[in-house]
Structure 1
């Protein structure tokens, strides 16, 4: 029941993901951070099989760092997205990764951008995107309330609306979410939304 989604605002990209590590009917963790910082101005949020997700995102992170170390300049967000897509396409013909990625970044020349990359190496630059069962509801909420040029406060409010909708509509909904943002000041964590603390958990019968 994974839920990963993000959107582009006025000078930033905000990304949210559930923090549940689940196998079959068992919850192993409820504080798994599925949004990795690639470098100072890039985030990658991933969903999919836990082993593939962790291995692939770490592989991308280390290769992005290696490129910057060798060349003295960081990859642009578009270049990092195309590199990620290329690695998924290569793996697809050998030993596929079951992982879907939202790659968010900020570049001085082009500003904020968000890229949708799925497990069969489809790449699209998008204004809003989502993966997992929660995408049915988060995409519906973003279609209704999203507009270009959203402020940070408006975007966080929309993310909270998506989280509330996911929790209230999914039969087995993830209780906790992490929210991160990237803008001209860099990539950083905004907040954790914990059902016990934020008061939007479904009441018991």
Structure 2
């Protein structure tokens, strides 16, 4: 029952994910952080099978950190997205594939542009201005299509994200109660309150 959203704006990427950890009909935890910081200007929201998501997110985080240590600079968002997509595609062809859906957001400090990538468990990747995963995407994508503005300031982006969260809580039967929202821009990654 994971729900995650992301959108780009003028110099930033906003990423939101629910904080519920559940299995079948049992809610085990209500404060799970499903957004992993991969570098100073790169973050990833993950959803899917509980064991797969945590293992894959930690694998990605540590390998991207290893790249930064070896090369003395972090991976740029397009390169990180390609490597993550390739890792998912390789695992799909193994005996133990990861069942993980991702939203990868980053700010490229060399070109001063925000990037957002939608990646699913089959290793499909798309560069998008806004994205959603989970049951909430059935309600939020039409709102994002109508209200998203790629030149919007951060306050307007937060208002659009709030509309999506409100719509999901109103219409989805098993809607999550809380969300964690993070923004990545030229200053790095920070958590924001709605």
> Structure 2, unaligned stretches of length 5 or more?
none
Distance in 1 between the 2:187 and 2:45 partners? 19
Secondary structure of the corresponding residue to residue 7 of structure 2: strand
Distance in 2 between the 1:138 and 1:6 partners? 10
Aligned to 2:139: 137
> Is 2:149 aligned against 1:147?
yes
The runs of 4+ residues in structure 1 deviating greater than 4 Å are none
* Superposed counterparts of 1:1-205, under 5 Å: 1-94=1-94, 95-110=96-111, 111-191=113-193
Q: CA RMSD of the aligned region, Å?
A: 0.8
Distance in 1 between the 2:30 and 2:140 partners? 20
Deviation at 1:109, TM superposition (A): 2.6
Q: TM-score, normalised by structure 1?
A: 0.92
> Structure 1, unaligned stretches of length 5 or more?
194-205
What are the superposed Cα offsets for residues 154-188 of structure 1, whole Å, 9 maximum, x if unpaired? 00011111110000000111001010000000011
